[in-house]
Amino acid sequence: MAFPLQLPSSLTSRHHPLTVFTSPAKASLSHKITPTQNSIQLPKWVPNLQSKSLKFLVSCSLALALFCTGVGFADGKVGVNKPELLPKEFASVIDVARFLSDGQEKRLAQEITALENDTGFKLRVLAQNYPDTPGLAIKDFWKVDDRTIVFVADPTFGRNFNVGATVDLDIPRSFWSRLAGKYGNIFYWKEMGEDASIKSAVMAISACLREPVGANNCSEVK
């Protein structure tokens, strides 16, 4: 969770890995081991299934590569770069998918500004519905650095967080997976809505970053 452009090498990313489930109807995996070959003979549909699963996984990985590579961007020749989807003026919240009302977007921006003034950490939010995303263009637009957290909300891929190295020193890594698990699961989206999911995640990040750094900071997702 492949692009030619690289983020600063100090940036790391926290995310839930993408899992692909395949369940062919009424199909069973059988094998036969011969004494001479000692090899497994798979049904003919298995290589095709593996190929389709691999293609799906790679496709999804490309979609997530903007903020889901281990360090910066993975090498590759395929990517999304649509600067035309960026606002004309700076905004800490970019809602390409229009999940948020104007009032909600304004209140989140105010919270993010207050958080940056109080802590020095920069939170940036991108709400998208892939492939409708500015993609690589947000790197320069937001001037992403070691003190930046980029939160990407996408109904297809859940919640992903690109966390700067300085932030990573203060926040336990488990916090991001717990945050995505609480407010990024499909049941929460369906019950509360995309807007509530985004708002809750932003407020939880804000509360975490405001806690004193210590052994138990950010131990709960609020």
Full-prediction pTM beyond 0.75? Answer: no
Cα angle at 42 between 40 and 45, to 5 degrees?
Answer: 165
- Model pLDDT, residue 13: 43
Mean pLDDT of 127-145: 93
Q: Over the Cα atoms of the chain, what is R_g?
A: 20
How far apart (Å, rounded) are the C-alpha atoms in residues 120 and 18? 32
pLDDT tens digits, one per residue of 82-103? 999 999 999 999 999 999 999 9
Query: Is residue 211 exposed (0-12), middle (13-18) or buried (19+ Cβ within 10 Å)?
Result: middle
Alpha-carbon distances, residue 56 vs 49, 52, 85, 179 (angstroms): 11, 6, 26, 26
pLDDT tens digits, one per residue of 163-188? 999 999 999 999 999 999 999 888 88
Structure tokens at 9: 């090498």
The number of residues making up the chain comes to 222
Domains of the chain: 83-210 (3.10.310.50)
With CA atoms as reference, report the closest residue to 112 among 126, 127, 94, 92.
92
